[in-house]
A and B are shown apart, each in its own frame.
Chain A
Amino acid sequence: MNTGQWILGLVFIVALDMSNAQSTDGNSLPPNSVYHLKVSVEDQFGKVTGLDRYRGKPVLITMFYANCPHVCPMLISTIKLTESKLSAEERVDLRVLTISIDPERDTPAKLREILERHSVDASRWSMVRSQPGDIRTLAGVFGIRYKQLPGGDFNHTTRIVLLDREGTQVASTEQLGHHDAVFLEAIKSSLH
């Protein structure tokens, strides 16, 4: 092998190495990315992934539970209402992840039922549950407060968080029942 080939080979190896560094998580993530969190989530089909299942797309995230009588249906309809203000081209790039705080009762079958009841687009929405021990951590990351009540219900704050493509929290809203105009603008700019 002459020197030129050798250098070319070296460049090739370095290039390979760099592409590896890009694709493995960790170092290339922004320091405030929620994808630093190593938790697994199980969706309405029983499929288990990391929290970063939608990495590369802007994501709306909230926490809820299926048996919630008033607030959670409003959370879902608020997200749907907000989405309806986007153009079809914008919407196709947006993902929604709703995380249950009640993993015991919110089985994949139960989550699928909720998705269907609200007729949301399952190609872009996931309803997931996590390991019970990870819920406090997820709530900590998303600034959501919750408490389980005797009898199994929960009180929880109703926060919808927008993640950019790399998992940084760029906006949030606690308004329900109507779309938050400032939040909508943040979603639009994350999609462009």
Chain B
Amino acid sequence: MRLLIPLFIVTPLSAGFTEHSLANEFVHIPGGEFRSVIPEAEGDNLVAVADFSVQEAPVTNAEFLRYVLYNPEWQRGSAVSLFVDDQYLSTWAGPISLGPESAPQQPVTQVSWFAANSYCEWQNARLPSWYEWEYIAAANVGMADARALPEWRQDILSWYSHTGGDQTGDVRGGPANYFGVFDMHGLVWEWVDDFNAFMVTGDNREQGGADELQFCGAGAITMEEKENYAVLMRVAMLSSLEARYTTRNMGFRCARQGEIRK
């Protein structure tokens, strides 16, 4: 019996995406000081963030599809299990097709930290650090730091309470925040470069001097402050992940250092 193998090459253009739909600009973020929920040192939660730039929206399925077309070693079924778990890109119809579960303009999810990191490197970029992410996530539409507003917290907490559902919306569904960045809350959770800097579990409890082994002893104090709860949920999430894990709600966006102000 002869097997007929359909031979065709899928390119981003033949897959129906225009360059416009793949644009995800890097937005300049002026640095500054802010109070983090994760103090750098005990009792001192003032953190300085240098100028950087960040993609205005989470990376979409369409963008990630383009990436795996150019980098077949990151296609589902080809990516090695050192770098991804068995749910990697599981919502896609196939290794190089999105299908009905994954619209082109939805944020890509089911991606591991390794995959996200590799994507950003391909963009001559990197993942944002936690402090960078937290800094831009503190904004609402009109203020750089809106965290003291009860409605800011309430919005996030009400989003948490209904996530876990089936599908996320498209990126840029709501207004841009103060920095010109979309979807910091309300769509997906996001990988950060130093996700494995959080040590809130008690893994080393049997040893003496456990406090010295565990960052975040100080973080646990602020965990009790209600206004930080919304953001600390993110920290708790990140601290529970391994770099090869993928989840239905976890996406990412890329950042660059010291972008020249336009």
Contacts and interface: CB of A to CB of B under 8 A. Distances in A.
B255 to A, nearest CB: 14
Interface residues of B, number: 28
Interface residues of A, number: 29
Contacts of B114: 137, 140
A157 B117 CA distance: 22
Contacts of B197: 145-147
A137 B114 CA distance: 7
Contacts of B51: none
Nearest to A37: B82
Contacts, number: 74
Contacts of A136: 117, 193-194, 196
Given A146-B197, A155-B199, A34 B209 contact: no
B40 interface: yes
B interface majority secondary structure: loop
Contacts of B209: 70-71
Interface stretch (A52-60, A121-129, A170-178): A170-178
A151 B83 CA distance: 33
A interface majority secondary structure: loop
Contact of A145 (B41, B81, B198): B198
B121 to A, nearest CB: 9
Contacts of A176: 207
A107 interface: no
A161 to B, nearest CB: 13
Contacts of B194: 136, 147
A32 interface: yes
A61 B256 CA distance: 32
A139 interface: yes
21 contacts: A31-B81, A32-B81, A34-B82, A70-B209, A71-B212, A71-B213, A137-B117, A140-B113, A140-B114, A140-B196, A143-B242, A145-B196, A145-B198, A145-B199, A145-B215, A146-B197, A147-B194, A147-B199, A155-B215, A157-B203, A174-B203
Interface of B: 40-41, 80-83, 113-114, 117, 193-194, 196-199, 203-204, 206-207, 209, 212-215, 239, 242-244
